[in-house]
Copies of this chain bind each other. A is one copy, B any other.
Amino acid sequence: MAAPVVAKSGVRLPGRPRDPRADAAILTAVVELLAEVGFGGLTVDAVAHRAGVGKATIYRRWDGKEQLVLDALSTEVQLMATPDTGDLATDLRQIYEPMAEPVAQQSATRLMPALAAEAAVNPELADRLRSFVAMRRGAAKDAIQRAIGRGEVDPSTDVDLCIDLLTGSLLYRLFFSGADVGIDVIQQAIALVLRGIAP
């Protein structure tokens, strides 16, 4: 599961220790290149060059390209804070508005399609992707269920469907239509869905 082939231990082994900065540089290079040239265009040579690292250093730490890429993607997955402001619209805005930031859009436009495409062929990646998605859904799911508890939302609401509508529409814009996704679009989408699930 861990990135390096040899796990770090408290015991100091003889010999030069691995440069810990290399791990980060390599993983960052993988993510950047994945976004630039896609899954198919990714070469280990390019990763090594961009990371300022020898190929041997990469193969000393990972078993191969496959593992390297899977690890780089896991690194991209960061936990998301679960807002609880007492108002569903505000909660959802806090969850989805980060998608309007250019950094997130770069990631979504370039990286996510590469992932989706590869996941269709690579079952292990598909699993990781699904668990990542499930994790991200958690925050929104909690927010909606709390709102149902408060009577803010019709109790017969299909929570998963709501999340699919919001997340899906925003990603879809980024993927296909080429339209930009600003805060205004996100707020409109939230408003529309909230009207649709009002009690």
Chain A interfacial positions (CB closer than 8 Å to B):
35-41, 109-110, 113-114, 116-121, 126, 129-130, 133-134, 158, 160-162, 164-165, 167-173, 175-179, 185, 188-189, 192-198
Contacts and interface: CB of A to CB of B under 8 A. Distances in A.
Contacts of A37: 121
A191 to B, nearest CB: 8
B130 A120 contact: no
Given A171-B172, A176-B133, A196-B192, A120 B116 contact: no
Complex copy number for this chain: 2
Interface residue SS majority, chain A: helix
A176 B171 CA distance: 11
Given A38-B118, A116-B176, A167-B172, 17 more contacts: A36-B121, A41-B121, A114-B117, A114-B120, A119-B176, A129-B176, A130-B176, A164-B169, A164-B173, A164-B177, A167-B169, A168-B168, A168-B172, A168-B173, A172-B172, A192-B197, A195-B197
